Chains A and B, each alone.
Chain A
Amino acid sequence: MNAAIEVRDLHYRYGEGTPALRGVSFSVAEGECVGLIGPNGAGKSTLLLHLNGLLPESWEGARSVFVGGNPVQPDTLLEVRRKVGLLFQDPNDQLFCPTVFEDVAFGPEQFGLSEAEIRKRVAQALAEAGLTGFEARAPHHLSVGEKRRVCLAGVLACDPSILVLDEPTSSLDPQGRRELKELLRQIPITKLIATHDLELVVELCSRVVVLDAGAVVAEGPTVKLLSDEDLMLRHHLERPHILRHLHPH
């Protein structure tokens, strides 16, 4: 049974010099929710951009990323992008259409669906994201949380089988965070969440991958790894408060 995502010895460097990813390998099984954690500059966002082929800019050498068993490469990009829904860190970058409806419809339009099917998908996606009635709203009138949910709806409208999220709870107020967390909990598909929000990881992810300076330094069940104070501090993280109560040291 093929893993939903498999990364094998992925290397990447920016232009000349700084290697951003040094031999990253891990996999995400079908239906799993995996957390990707690590300090700033570890390469999390760079890694995520490889999962739907936005990186690398040139494709020489062996393939390192596999989605559903198939390599991510120039001739499979469109299919990969339909399967892998990537939620960017800044919703302003991803919400680029003049109205909510048009933005959520963007993906289905690009994938060539009919008008009726597009309307259906948009309505469904907005409902899943709790945004029914927002169709005619303009992005600059929305709050950060609402923008993020529109981006999520836009990704869901493409009917992906894997959700990859980059810092989904950043800039959200506590209520916005709660709402998003509940939303994500209810979406049953495979998820990979890169985040600093360690409480979110504990609440949603069964497994974590710890990335530091472009390499995977640890991998395993969430509670076990995040309770390991030494490990956390060594990689500029910390043991989340939730776990301080569960596992007094």
Chain B
Amino acid sequence: MRHDSLDRYSRLRSPVHRLSAALKLAMALALVVTVVLLPPDRPVLLGAVAVFLLAVAGLSRIPWRFLALRLILLEPFVLGVAIMALFQPGGWRLFLFLVAKCTLGLLTMVLLSNTTPFSDLLRVLKAARVPALLVTTLSLMYRYLFVLVDETQRMKRARVSRTFAPRRARAWHTLATVVSHLFIRTSERAERIYGAMCARGWK
């Protein structure tokens, strides 16, 4: 399942994985701020950040192919917006600069998410006094998104296999039904989870 595979590398063993989640989050934040503040007329700085990130990527033992695929998947929006920069005078320079900047930002976040289990990041948020309701929501979302994505795919497959000549209108109707059932099952599950939480003493 696609997203299960995206969580595949967060628990590898490498010097980068071993660093504390708080440190990695702080580093990611620092790198992102750096990327935001990069001036367009000093490509050297851009290069320095790139080298640093590539070194971290190498140390992390995440397969290069995987990293490349993740970046490619995320590039379209970057390109879509950066293309608008071509409409200005000096547009090409600007376009390349934007794409480079954003790609570095993407690489930072891809590395963060693939070297740090989300549950560790949640613990950092909790320690940082993020409101409990938000942390609980994030925690439950993380726990159940794989479950719901699985359910969705199963429902879609079941529906699609009963459709013989899908016209587009019919397809929309079918998919909307899948979404509605997903919501209904989700709210029923939420009730059961509430019961399970109470059963172990939650108030």
Does A150 belong to the interface (CB within 8 Å)? no
| Interface assignment of A127: CB less than 8 Å from any CB of chain B | no
List of B residues within 8 angstroms of A86 by Cβ: 199
A97 to B200, CA, bound (A): 13
A124 within 8 Å of B (CB atoms): no
Residue of B nearest to A155 (CB): B200
CB-based contact A107/B201 at 8 Å: yes
A111 near B201 with CB under 8 A, answer yes
Output the nearest chain B residue to A101 by Cβ-Cβ distance.
Answer: B119
B147 CB contacts on chain A under 8 angstroms: 92, 140
Chain A, interface size category, equals 20 to 34
Closest to B147 in A: A92
Q: How far is the CA of A98 from the CA of B198 in the complex (A)?
A: 18
> At the interface, yes or no: B180 with Cβ under 8 Å from chain A?
no
Interchain CB contact under 8 A, A98 and B193: no
The docked-state distance in angstroms from the alpha carbon of A55 to that of B144 is 25
Q: Cβ of B197 < 8 Å from any Cβ of A? A: yes
Bits for A88-113, please: 1 = Cβ < 8 Å to B, else 0.
Answer: 10101111111100100011001100
CB distance from B103 to the nearest CB of A (A): 29
Any chain A CB within 8 A of the CB of B171? Answer: no
Does A139 count as interface, using CB distance less than 8 angstroms?
yes
Q: Give the residues from 134 to 191 in chain B that come closer than 8 angstroms, CB to CB, to chain A.
A: 139-140, 142-144, 146-147, 189
Is there an interface contact between B189 and A93, defined as CB atoms closer than 8 Å? yes
- A93-B198 contact in complex given A110-B203, A138-B117, A140-B147, C-beta closer than 8 Å: no
Q: Which of B117, B118, B122, B198 has the most CB of A within 10 A?
A: B198
B202 within 8 A of A: yes
Question: Does B192 make an interface contact (CB < 8 A)?
Answer: yes
Minimal beta-carbon separation of A140 from chain B (angstroms): 4
Q: Bound complex: CA of A54 vs CA of B198, how far in Å?
A: 8
Contact partners of A149 in chain B: CB under 8 A: none
B141: min CB distance to chain A, Å: 10
- B199 and A93 within 8 A (CB): no
Query: Assuming A92-B147, A99-B119, is B199 touching A110 (CB within 8 A)?
Result: no
Please indicate the chain B residues that have their CB under 8 angstroms from the CB of A215 in the complex: none
- What is the bound-complex CA distance between A81 and B197, given in angstroms? 11
Are the C-beta atoms of B201 and A96 separated by less than 8 Å? no
Picked from A78, A90, A102, A140, the residue with its CB within 8 Å of the CB of B192 is: A90
Q: Please judge, given known A-B contacts A98-B119, A139-B143, A140-B147, whether A81 and B192 are in contact too, CB under 8 Å.
A: no
Cβ of A158 < 8 Å from any Cβ of B? Answer: yes
Whether B139 pairs with A140 at a CB distance below 8 angstroms is no
Residues of A within 8 A of B197 (CB): 96, 106
Q: In the docked arrangement, what's the CA distance between A154 and B193, Å? A: 14
> Across the two chains, which residue of chain A brings its CB closest to B8?
A141
| Chain B positions within 8 Å of A140 at CB level | 4, 7, 143, 146-147
Let me know if B58 is at the binding interface, CB within 8 A. no
Task: Give the residues in chain B near A139, CB-CB below 8 Å.
Answer: 143
CB pairs A–B below 8 angstroms (15 shown): A54-B195, A78-B203, A81-B200, A88-B195, A88-B196, A96-B193, A97-B139, A98-B119, A106-B202, A110-B203, A136-B117, A138-B117, A140-B4, A140-B7, A155-B200
Q: Which residues of A contact B (CB under 8 A)?
A: 49, 52, 54, 78, 81-82, 86, 88, 90, 92-99, 102, 106-107, 110-111, 136, 138-141, 154-155, 158
Which residue numbers of B lie inside 8 Å of A, CB to CB? 4, 7, 11, 117-119, 122, 139-140, 142-144, 146-147, 189, 192-193, 195-203
13 further A-B contacts with Cβ under 8 Å, apart from A81-B200, A158-B201, are A54-B198, A90-B192, A93-B189, A93-B196, A94-B196, A106-B202, A107-B200, A110-B202, A136-B11, A136-B117, A138-B117, A140-B143, A155-B200
What are the nearest 4 A-B pairs in CB distance?
Answer: A110-B201, A98-B119, A107-B200, A140-B146
